[in-house]
Structure 1
Amino acid sequence: MSSDFDPSHLVPADQGTPKARAERPPRNRRFTMIAGAVALASLMLGFLFGYSATRPIQTELDALKAENSAAVDTSESLRDTSDSLRDEVAGLEEEIERLSGENEQLNGENEQLETQVDQLDERELELDQREAGLDSRETGLDDIEAGLDAREEDLTQTEAEIEANTIPGDGIWVVGDEIQPGVYKAQGSGSGCYWARLNSLDGFDIISNHFGSANVSVEIHSGDAAFETSGCGSWVKQ
């Protein structure tokens, strides 16, 4: 057997017949069909691999979209909160300005009150000094009043002594009761002076008498019952 045998020269049994040759498709057409099948399979495999690969990405994209939406909502909420806080800050600033104005007003009023307090302290000090002066004057007045009381007592005593030692004027005076014995001098004037020492209250029961000048003195004795006088004025005991 020869070693130069080439299998490609062998022809299948059915290809040798005219019918087989007539039914066999052309070589180019078969190649096209095989290439199309391969391309379709590759496309399907690529679609499958792409779908499998993009599905986690899509899920991640959906999660990112959800996070982004939540972030947007959070941002809007924070924006609203920020606006609210700005409004509150503005309100607080207005309140601070109002309180500052009130504080300044209160400081002014406080200064006025302090000035008034200082003035009141000065007036109180002045009143204390005046009160001390009044106390001193009151003490002096008390001393004067005490002196006046003493003088009044002296005058009262003097008046009592004068009264006891004075025959007031016209009348009949009981010796030992209304007048005391002693030497008396008339205080009147003129020449119509009459006096009489009596043994009784009867004006005609005369011990001794006088009619004439008022410049006269008389001694009344303890044994006399009464003394009558007229036109002589008062009599003062000597």
Structure 2
Amino acid sequence: MTDELDTAEPKPEPAKQPRKRVRRSTLIAGIVALVLIAAGPIIAWQVTASNMQPQIDSANAAVAATGDSLKQAQTNLTSMQAQVAKAAKDEADVAARESAVTARETAVKAAETIVQAGQFGDGVHVVGTDVQPGVYHVNSATNCYYVFKDGTGAGANIIDNNIVSGPVTITLKQGDNLTTSRCGTWTKIG
């Protein structure tokens, strides 16, 4: 058996796989690729950010301008609120003055009614209806014509008539019918 052992061919050892050498340039290329893949978004962001800077600056300027516009609008609003408050005060003042004027007008109308009851001008007047009975006077008249009639119609008869210049005084009794022309205003004196 020893012979057999000697004669037997030695068994070949399993073959070793030759080691693959990684080239240094391939390794460097791989590392650079990894770095570029990892740094790509950062680089792209920087490129995008630098491209966007004019738009960012424009947006910042628009925000600043809007802030200025807002400040101006606030100033305008404050001014308008002051004007509204002044207008409300003015309106209250006008209402108070209007009330005072209305009171004065009422007093003046009452006085005018009293005066008018004691005054009349040219035209046809029925004493007791249009004018009060009493003594009336005109300070100065030129060619003043007055006539007392027994009625107011076209067929009324003349009771008395005169044409006068200068001061004139007449007495009116209840029921008299008087027509005057060119005499001016007659004022009650008694």
TM over 0.5: yes
1:178 partner letter: D
Distance in 2, Cα, partners of 1:148 & 1:214: 39
Question: If each structure's strand is expressed as a fraction of its own residues, which one has the higher value?
Answer: 2
User: Residue deviations 1:100-144, cap 9 Å, x none?
Assistant: 543333222222211221122112212222222222222222223
Identity %: 17
Q: Can you give the 5+ residue segments of structure 2 that lack an aligned partner in the other structure?
A: none
Alignment partner for residue 75 of structure 2, among 122, 143, 146? 122
Q: Secondary structure at the match of 2:124?
A: strand
Q: Which has the higher contact order (CA 8 A, sep 6+)?
A: 2
Aligned-CA RMSD value: 3.5
Structure 1 residues 172 and 99 mapped into 2: Cα distance closer, same or farther (>3 Å)? Answer: same
2:46 partner letter: E
Is 1:176 aligned to 2:128, yes or no?
yes
1:182 partner letter: G
- In structure 2, the residue matched to 1:89 is 42
Q: Can you give the 5+ residue segments of structure 1 that lack an aligned partner in the other structure?
A: 1-40
Question: If each structure's helix is expressed as a fraction of its own residues, which one has the higher value?
Answer: 1
Contact preservation (8 Å) 1:194, 1:210: yes
User: Max radius of gyration: which structure?
Assistant: 1
Residue 235 of structure 1 and its aligned partner are, at CA, apart by 1.0
Residue 82 of structure 1 and its aligned partner are, at CA, apart by 4.0
Is 1:234 aligned to 2:185, yes or no?
yes
Residue 99 of structure 1 and its aligned partner are, at CA, apart by 4.4
Q: Secondary structure at the match of 2:125?
A: strand
Give the 5 Å matches for 1:9-20. none
TM-score, length of structure 2 as denominator length: 0.71
Q: Secondary structure at the match of 2:141?
A: coil
Contact preservation (8 Å) 2:141, 2:164: no
Contact preservation (8 Å) 2:148, 2:158: no
| Segments ≥4 residues shifted beyond 6 Å | 73-78
Is 1:220 aligned to 2:182, yes or no?
no
Contact preservation (8 Å) 2:150, 2:158: no
Contact preservation (8 Å) 1:187, 1:232: no
- Matched residue count: 180
